Structure 1
Amino acid sequence: MTILNETYTLSNDVTVPKLGLGTWFIDDDRAAQAVRDAVGTGYRNIDTAQAYGNERGVGEGVRTSGVAREELFVSTKLAAEIKDYDGAVAAIDGSLKTLGLDYIDLMLVHAPQPWDDFRGGDYAEGNREAWRALEEAHTAGKLRSIGVSNFLQQDLESILQGSTVAPHVNQLLVHAGNTPTELIAYCESNGILVEAYSPIAHGEILNNTHVAAMAEKYGVTVPQLCIRYTLQLGTVSLPKTANPEHMRSNAQVDFEITQQDMTTLRDLRAQDYGENSAFPVYSGK
């Protein structure tokens, strides 16, 4: 499981492990054990968010993992509804307190619009205000790196035009069947590392017979193929699980997908997420 020892380097020279543990939909009372299990398996990258409602448990897991804090990379996200400076300042400090940590390795603006107006109105000014709060917390040493999530090119351009610190990361929905190739290329050209959340397509890709056949050809599981795909795109992969066996299996991705198969997976269009089709998940829609 050498992937657990591999890292990318952000534009500010902070290193981030290539494979992480996503904690979306892991209840707060289960999060600490999930983090301890992941760290025990060798994971060093743990991702949460204010919207997940499990920062307390994730922080407990980090503090009781038996591994030195500086060896772990902990990310969280500013709630998408916060589009003002004062609210962002308070929320950043709130995450630090809830996590019980002295610093956060990466904090992201969770989305360019509030969830109930996702891809709707213009919140550019609010995003710049929230970003200013992140920049100041970064300068103060509370946050080692800062970034965004679900930001499209125009959203990124708005931040870049008025920022003193360019986003280090853009965390996006990236999986075989949903590969925003142009947006990934734009991020790369601006020194922004892309992190792939839901690399297994909320689990629905397990039902895709073409992907299953390709996985069988490599002698791997569908999740392993999908995680490897996002890694070969040059992104951080953040599969979500609370199952220790799945954590171990997800890290067994030391194989190479051919360029031809990478193209096939990149061109795949599969965005039916079954019971998880309501997106964004926090919109209540």
Structure 2
Amino acid sequence: MSPLEAPCPTLPDDLALALRLADAADAVSMQRFDAADLRIDTKPDRTHVTEADLATERAIRRILDAERPHDAVLGEEFGTSGDTARRWVIDPIDGTHNYMRGIPVWATLIALTVDGVPQVGVVSQPAIGRRWWAAVGHGAWTSTASGETRGIRVSEVDEMGAASISFQSIEQWDGVGLLPALESLTRVVWRDRAYGDALPYMWLAEGRLELVAEFDVKEYDIAAIAPIVREAGGRFTAFDGSDRLDAGSSFATNGILHDAFSAALRDEAAR
């Protein structure tokens, strides 16, 4: 059978592969986590990269080369290869600065997009023994350090005064001129924290938060997160309300409060 005649994998097939990719990534990343001699370099954009970032992405790409040789790949460390409708999007270690300081809150993010739309997402945080995953139409799931697997669902909180939010980084909001709007919102909601990186999105998908929003994000930062939030019943958009992954922002909510949060921030920003 020629490559053109080969059957297209089903979403369950792709999700099963994504979970195996996460297994391989965890094995590599955990080998060097909190190592005293971890090699750390600086990239041209002045962000840090560790030997583990590079090794983890290589491990994922090796498996994709063998099992999905005709799919495109976008990775944070090695860029884009291939040009097809099906594209795997990888952040080998989301939270590199935590990783290099021995803080266990970091993750490997693995997504499959088709025509730019996320279809499969896996977020694996091996240092705390947690993993989350979803495929469109198949729900959102998590596994715990004890081995329990369960479905997850966003909260039903319907009042901003009862909502808990993660704004991720003051610097990000200040950089887009929305810090005053954020400050105003924090006076309305029940609780606000800057948890950072992928974990608060997973807490949102589990019903523990109602809003996670940030700026200066790349496609590989959010492609794996979007289907998990959506399959858990939430909404995931850019700040401008679009579904684009390349808009440079993310705005994830429990769905019920999405419009209210957006309106509150926009109204304050317009003053």
**TM-score range normalised by the length of the shorter chain:** under 0.3
| Greater relative contact order, per chain length (Cα 8 Å cut-off, separation 6+) | 1
Q: Structure 1 length normalisation: TM-score? A: 0.26
The TM-score normalised by the length of structure 2 is: 0.27
Higher fraction of strand: 2
